[in-house]
Amino acid sequence: MQKTTETDNTKKFSKLFSELDHCTDVKQKQIIEEMNGIIDEMDKEEFTSAFTKGFFHETDKMIKDKQLSLENVILMLKHMGYCKEMKKIWNNDFQRCSLSKRIEKMIVDENKKKKGKNEKLLADLCESYLFLNSRFSKELLAIIVRCLLKATLKKEENEETQKEVEIALLALSNIGVFNTVQKEQYLNEIREIIKNHQKYLNLTQLAYQSAWEFFIDRFFKDRNLEDVIENELHFVREVTGRLEELVVCIDWKREKDERGKKDKEVQILTRWLDTIDYFLLSCKLWNEEYIKLVSCLVKTYLSANDKFMEISEKCIFPLRNAAKNRTVKTDDLLKGGSIGLFLEELMQSTMNYGMTNQSLTFCLSISERLKEKTDDEMEEAKRKELKRKVLEMMEEEGYEDVIISFHKIFDFLHRNFWIDISLNISDYFVHL
């Protein structure tokens, strides 16, 4: 049945695309809106099958031959890009095609205009380009970021404006961590966008998440941003609150076949977890709100477990990074429930290799922390007490026996997963 659905979606889309030739502009728009509805239903395999280099080349040819209006192409590309971003689909065919070059030139040309510049067209072109590319020149990125940040600072609070702002911020969030944006090009604007929402709640959930994702991706390469992120904009507190809201909103008890395509809340939650992951990989400033964040990640994991495995697995990564980074204290991890969670996970006979690897990495980090002595008598006393509590939990869960049982696959995990784990079994054990 699934195979038939995939074939039907792709065939319907291709058939409608072939009908765009020699249509009136109004009819084209109707067909594209129908095509956009099919894009909503596509899974990753269908999406990749439909949007090939050949498809983009044909679209470009139709623009060149004046068979397809630019306005209608943008209507299709923006919706395609929105779905690609929300479904986290990797497709790099666009950035290597003639249509990408055409839009890139149009952005540069429109931006150069001193008089008669069409700000709406420029924003549409920038969004289409950002959604469908992953690598950008610094010069083009400077134009795009300036244009879209300007678009997000609109003060109107009607639904149409909110949607425009959401799309602009979602597109900006696609500028990944390996693309460099100069601080002066975005810092004041993104700070204002986030502060305004914290004060007036003027953004949609997705727009607010996208603003933070764009900002945290910049933080990945510029650690000097942490003071603004933590002490001024209070990222940890904010993201904990958003997770708590989403965990309550999602109906975790529904069966998979009742859910159909992902709810928007599930997609937004997944995006927040990715953003938290990048943050905990890079952060250096500690604050007491980490306990609540850890607790919230554990709660999300337990809520999603079994039926939403993708979310459960995404909760594991930031918790593992928190243990490796050490900005989050061992006591925070214990009180937040993550140590207990990982110990329980190691007991599961149904664990997959990926989850096993993450759990072992977490436990190895905790073991290393608890072995580190300090010359400060009070801190050393705290460390010993903490170690006692953790060891009691480990003994209760039969931790050492489980680690011994996993030892035979250490080398396999070490060779097949990106994160290194120690092959020395004694590194995982802690004794008083």
Report yes or no on 156 lying in a domain: no
CA distance 294 to 280: 11
pLDDT digits (tens, 9 = 90+) for 195-241: 999 999 999 999 999 999 999 999 998 999 999 999 999 999 999 99
Please report the pLDDT score of residue 258 as a whole number. Answer: 46
pLDDT digits (tens, 9 = 90+) for 129-164: 999 998 889 999 999 999 999 999 876 778 889 999
Query: Residue 189 pLDDT more than 50?
Result: yes
Please report the pLDDT score of residue 145 as a whole number. Answer: 97
Q: Average pLDDT for residues 302-316, to the nearest whole number?
A: 87
3-state secondary structure the chain: CHHHHHHHHHHHHHHHHHCCCCCCHHHHHHHHHHHHHHHHHCCHHHHHHHCCHHHHHHHHHHHHCCCCCHHHHHHHHHHHHHHHHHCCCCCCCHHHCHHHHHHHHHHHHHHHCCCCCCHHHHHHHHHHHHHHCCCCCHHHHHHHHHHHHHHHCCCCCCHHHHHHHHHHHHHHCCCCCCCCCCHHHCHHHHHHHHHHHHHHCCCCHHHHHHHHHHHHHHHCCCHHHHHHHHHHCCHHHHHHHHHHHHHHHCCCCCCHHHHCCCCHHHHHHHHHHHHHHHHHHHCCCCCCCHHHHHHHHHHHHHHHCCCCHHHHHHHHHHHHHHHHHCCCCHHHHHHCCHHHHHHHHHHCCCCCHHHHHHHHHHHHHHHHHHHCCCCCHHHHHHHHHHHHHHHHHHHHHCHHHHHHHHHHHHHHHHHHCCCCCCCCHHHHCCCC
Report yes or no on 38 lying in a domain: yes
Q: Which two tokens stand for residue 186?
A: 């975005």
Last residue of one domain, picked from the residues 94, 109, 138:
94
Q: Which two tokens stand for residue 317?
A: 């990564």
Last residue of one domain, picked from the residues 50, 65, 94:
94
Do residues 93 and 53 make contact, with C-beta atoms less than 8 angstroms apart?
A: yes
Q: Kindly report the average pLDDT of the chain as a whole number.
A: 90
Task: Provide the number of structural domains found in the chain.
Answer: 2
Query: Residue 4 pLDDT more than 50?
Result: no
Q: Which residue has the higher pLDDT, 127 or 95?
A: 127
**For the purposes of burial, counting CB atoms within 10 Å of the CB of 194, is it exposed (0-12), middle (13-18) or buried (19 or more)?**
buried
Residue 168's nearest CA partner among 207, 195, 138 is 207
Q: Which two tokens stand for residue 325?
A: 């980074």
Q: Where does the pLDDT of residue 353 fall: very low under 50, low under 70, confident under 90, or very high at 90 and above?
A: confident
For the chain, percent of residues with pLDDT exceeding 90: 72
Q: Is the pTM of this model over 0.75?
A: yes
Please report the pLDDT score of residue 393 as a whole number. Answer: 92
Report yes or no on 77 lying in a domain: yes
Last residue of one domain, picked from the residues 94, 120, 148:
94
Distance set, CA 204 to CA 167, 174, 250 (Å): 10, 17, 17
Please report the pLDDT score of residue 418 as a whole number. Answer: 61
For the chain, percent of residues with pLDDT exceeding 70: 95
Only one residue has tokens 């207990």, namely 340
Domain range for 30 is: 1-94
Please report the pLDDT score of residue 247 as a whole number. Answer: 94
Q: Where does the pLDDT of residue 95 fall: very low under 50, low under 70, confident under 90, or very high at 90 and above?
A: confident
Residue 366's nearest CA partner among 341, 402, 347 is 341
Q: Which two tokens stand for residue 404?
A: 């011994």
Query: Residue 379 pLDDT more than 80?
Result: yes
Query: Residue 80 pLDDT more than 50?
Result: yes
Report yes or no on 326 lying in a domain: no
Please report the pLDDT score of residue 352 as a whole number. Answer: 79
- Number of C-beta neighbours around residue 28 at 10 A: 23
First to last CA, the chain: 58
Report yes or no on 47 lying in a domain: yes
Report yes or no on 191 lying in a domain: no
Lowest mean pLDDT, pick from 240-254, 338-352, 370-384: 338-352
Q: Where does the pLDDT of residue 349 fall: very low under 50, low under 70, confident under 90, or very high at 90 and above?
A: low
pLDDT digits (tens, 9 = 90+) for 405-423: 988 888 888 787 766 688 8
Please report the pLDDT score of residue 188 as a whole number. Answer: 96
Report yes or no on 320 lying in a domain: no
